[in-house]
Amino acid sequence: MQTCDILGAVAPYAALIITHLSAVSSRQRSIMGGEDVMNKMEQNFCQKCLILSMVEKEGSTVCQIERVRYRKCPLVEVAYQLNFPTILSIEAEMPVKFQNEIRKAFPQYQMQTEQENEITVNITGEDVNPMFRHRPVRKLHQFISEDGMWKITLAKNQLAISTLKYEQWEDMMSRFEQPLKAFSEVYDQSYFERVGLRYVDAIKRSELGLEGVEWKELIRPHLLGCLSFSQEEVEKVNLNTLRAEIVMDGVSVRVSSGLGIINTDNKEPDNAFILDCDYYQIGKVDMDKIGKVAECLHQKSTEFFRKSITRKLHEAMNPQELK
């Protein structure tokens, strides 16, 4: 089974925890290392969050792209990942040369290990015999910015950048330029096999002045599941998680959405709607084509997000047009 391997956790940042209110797959534990979305982000970093927003013109089926700044942005983390054929030296040796090239921007280092478990089922007649086995442990070399908000993760078959302080797409790509260049030079890698972009949003009604508003007034039906029932129809929804995989103009999207709880160090747990989307393309992509593919994924993420929320939620997040 293929999993979304946006690299491991935003580790030492600690503090904000999102817990999905249902069982989750190993894929959902990718960015944050478990079901936890951990961070140390400033309470108001989303006031600078930049997002492209689809704006539907009244009376027209044509949509135009409008760049807006959500001053109450729900983004928790963004990760951009490149997969390549396994390079054994990354697993066998410390990446000293690579670190030297990026140490100015990412001075902190830590190494984590990751082990994924696999369950296989053998069916003989009417007997079903599940077998549980461990996959080999994988090393994750993590290079973290001084403020702890940005991280480069290098593994034997992956290179990723993730952030808890996403402000602008161009800024993220700019920060990734040097690590990507260093990787290409140190490991002589000229192409990639998978390109992925992942966004995790936690929409909290209490922070948007929307207490008491039903989720169906804020989120589009394709993500709601049982939350689409009115309070008159269903007294309470205790568990609600949707997982799906779709294709949009050649871009694959893995979607996980549903109710969650936000835990912080200094606040009471807060209910939220979690939207976790992984946009990716599989196939050989040469180094000089990576930027074009990444831009395509970014555009699709914009389109899907805007089509997943209502005008009411869009306005509640206080969009500011960029001039």
Find all residues with CB under 8 Å of 309, minimum gap 6, and list them: 218, 219, 220
Closest residue by Cα to residue 257 from 269, 272, 268, 247? 272
Q: How many CB atoms lie within 10 A of CB 245?
A: 11
Packing angle between helix 290-308 and helix 169-187, nearest 10 degrees?
Answer: 150
Reported as a single tens digit per residue, the pLDDT across 20-41 is: 333 333 333 333 333 333 333 3
Residue 22 is which amino acid? S
Residues of the chain with pLDDT > 90, as a percent, come to 56
State pTM to two decimals.
0.76
Distance in angstroms (rounded) separating the CA atoms of residues 12 and 9: 9
pLDDT at 68: 75
Q: Per residue, what are the HEC states of 119-173? A: EEEEEECCEEEEEEEECCCEEEEEEECCCCCEEEEEECCEEEEEECCCCCHHHHH
Is the Cβ–Cβ distance between 253 and 246 less than 8 Å? Answer: yes
Q: Of 59-68, 99-108, 240-249, where does the model show the most confidence?
A: 99-108
Q: Cα separations (Å) of 6 from 28, 32, 198?
A: 10, 9, 7
pLDDT of residue 321: 80
Per-residue pLDDT tens over the stretch 129-140: 566 566 678 899
Residue 98 three-state SS = helix
Q: Would you say residue 297 has pLDDT above 70?
A: yes
- Over residues 217-222, mean pLDDT: 94
Provide the pLDDT confidence category of residue 48 given band limits of 50, 70 and 90.
very low
Q: Are the beta carbons of 239 and 22 closer than 8 angstroms? A: yes
User: What value, to the nearest 5°, has the Cα angle with vertex 294 and ends 291 and 297?
Assistant: 155
pLDDT in tens, 93-104: 999 999 999 999
The dihedral formed by the CA atoms of 160, 143, 45 and 223, expressed in degrees to the nearest 10? 30
Q: What is the DSSP string of 245-270?
A: EEEETTEEEEEEEEEEEEE-SSS--E
The model's confidence at residue 67, banded by pLDDT at 50, 70 and 90, is low
Rounded CA separation 51/308 (Å): 14
Q: Buried b / exposed e across 280-312, counting CB within 10 Å, b at 16+?
A: bbeeebeeeebeebbebbbbbbbbbbbebbeee
| 80 contacts 160 by C-beta, under 8 angstroms | yes
Residue 119 pLDDT greater than 80, yes or no:
no
Of the candidates 223, 161, 222, the one whose C-alpha atom is nearest the C-alpha of residue 196 is 161
Q: Which of 76-90, 148-162, 215-229 has the lowest mean pLDDT?
A: 215-229
Query: In degrees, to the nearest 5, what angle opens at C-alpha 311 toward C-alphas 322 and 229?
Result: 150
Q: Specify the amino acid at residue 249.
A: D
**Rounded to 5 degrees, what angle do the CA atoms 14, 101, 156 make?**
65
More reliable by pLDDT, 320 or 65: 320
